[in-house]
Structure 1
Amino acid sequence: MMITEPCTLTGQLVRLEPLQPGHAEELYATGRELETWKYIPTNPCLSLETMQQWIADTLQLQQKGEILPFAIIDLASGRVVGSTRYLAIMPSFYNLEIGWTWLDPSVRRSGINTECKYLLLQHAFEDWHAIRVQLKTDSRNLRSQAAIARIGGVKEGVLRNHMIMPDGYRRHSVYFSILDSEWEQVKANLIVKMHVYEA
């Protein structure tokens, strides 16, 4: 069975460290832009108190073994610049999902998201020996779909009326996956992309 435990993952640009209550203030500051939550069903950045409660609820889910959440630390500045997580963890099937990723607008398109995906995928496939990692996004979020496809995610299909958004919109979710047999090619592709950002 795949054994998943909290861990810290460090790259050239970022450190992914286990989410803690002490991250609340910086995460709240990071997620204040409403556009960040356009395609995400919950906005924890409505207030500092909302963020603190979100972290508490998230850590309860972690205790149940359902998710592993991270704070994203920009190594250059030492700031918390977002969050991401493993979720939909199915240890007996060696399956999980990477998602709930959001970043401070100041570090978007900086290479940080690419390195986050690399670190999470590498850990899932090489340390936990996952056989499938899935990613999903709102069907309206064409930029996210293109980004997932660019790193090698294979589109599997659409779950219609999958979620109800805060404004009542019935969200369709587009699912992608990467298999263990595809990881080496995906890894090589991500390394090339990261070198572009490091140059």
Structure 2
Amino acid sequence: MVLYGEHVQLEPLDHRHIDDLLDAAQNDDIWRYMPVPRPATRVVVEQLIDKAWKAASEGLEIPFTTIDDKSDRAVGSTRYLDIHRSDRILEIGWTWLGVGAQRTPINTECKLLLLRHAFDHLGALRVQLKTDGRNTRSQQAIERLGAVKEGVLRRNRLMWDGVRRDTVYSSILDDEWPAVKTRLEGFLAR
């Protein structure tokens, strides 16, 4: 499955993107709040891709590579995860972008494509997003989408660097989706 936009396309995460992903990942700030440290080698990127596809084969995740349409290069990754088909809920997460793709329309359109597919094609009733409680930038971006902050799970996850993080949960429900869609389309039209 490929999701197409004007600025970005989301393709299945693939080994052919390893070099681009390794280049895009080379900033420690990107990985400060991620569940894994910065992938410093091709082998580590390959292992991350293999792990994502193992989870996908078990029906737990759908991983994507974020492709910048201008450069036709991979600039990051995102995925659906914590998929509960019978409850019609899923999460959008593991989202990261190289520094050159940040503060561009790429992330907004990426979220629009993922949300549109989740609500309009997969029939989701709820899409959740979560972030490290220390990551105020991501919390602001999630709020900007129109997601509702639901709460904080305190010290619920041990991170790779030994920090026990608080996790902030937000969500968008199916009846909120039309307003969120209009909002995101408005941002992209500017």
> What TM-score comes out, normalization by structure 2 length?
0.98
| Runs of 4+ off more than 3 Å | none
1:158 to 2:149 alignment: no
Tell me which amino acid in the other structure corresponds to 1:137.
T
Give the counterpart of 1:137 among 122, 131, 143. Answer: 131
Q: In 2, Cα distance between the equivalents of 1:167 and 1:91?
A: 33
Larger deviation, residues 127-136 vs 21-30: 21-30
Query: In 1, distance between residues paired with 2:187 and 2:113?
Result: 13
Structure 1, gaps ≥5 residues long = 1-6
User: Which among 26, 34, 52 is matched to residue 28 of structure 2?
Assistant: 34
What is residue 53 of structure 2 aligned with on the other side? 59
Question: 1:95 — aligned with what?
Answer: 89
The runs of 5 or more residues in structure 2 that have no matched partner are: none
SS at match of 2:124: coil
Shift of 1:22: 1.4
**Deviations 1:93-139 (Å, cap 9, x if unpaired)?**
00000011101101111110000000000000000110000000010
The residue type equivalent to 1:19 in the other structure is: L
Q: Which amino acid aligns with 1:187?
A: K
| C-alpha separation in 2, matches of 1:43 and 1:85 | 18
Cα displacement string for residues 136-166 of structure 1 (whole angstroms, at most 9, x for unaligned residues): 0010111111111111100111111121112
1:18 matched to 2:30? The reply is no
Counterpart CA distance in 1 for 2:183 and 2:117 is: 16
The letter for the 1-side match of 2:31 is: W
- Equivalent position to 2:174, from 180, 183, 199: 180
Q: Distance in 2 between matches of 1:83 and 1:128?
A: 20
Q: Deviations over 1:32-71 (max 9, x none)?
A: 1111000112035121111111111111111000000000
CA distance in 1, matches of 2:70, 2:40: 28
Q: With structure 1 as the length reference, what TM-score do the two structures score?
A: 0.93
State percent identity of aligned pairs: 48
- The structural deviation recorded for 1:171 is 0.5
Does structure 2 retain, via aligned residues, the 8 Å contact 1:65–1:89? yes
- What is the distance in 1 between the residues matched to 2:147 and 2:123? 18
- Give the number of equivalent residue pairs: 190
Task: Report the counterpart of residue 62 of structure 2 in structure 1.
Answer: 68
Q: Name the residue aligned to 1:3.
A: none
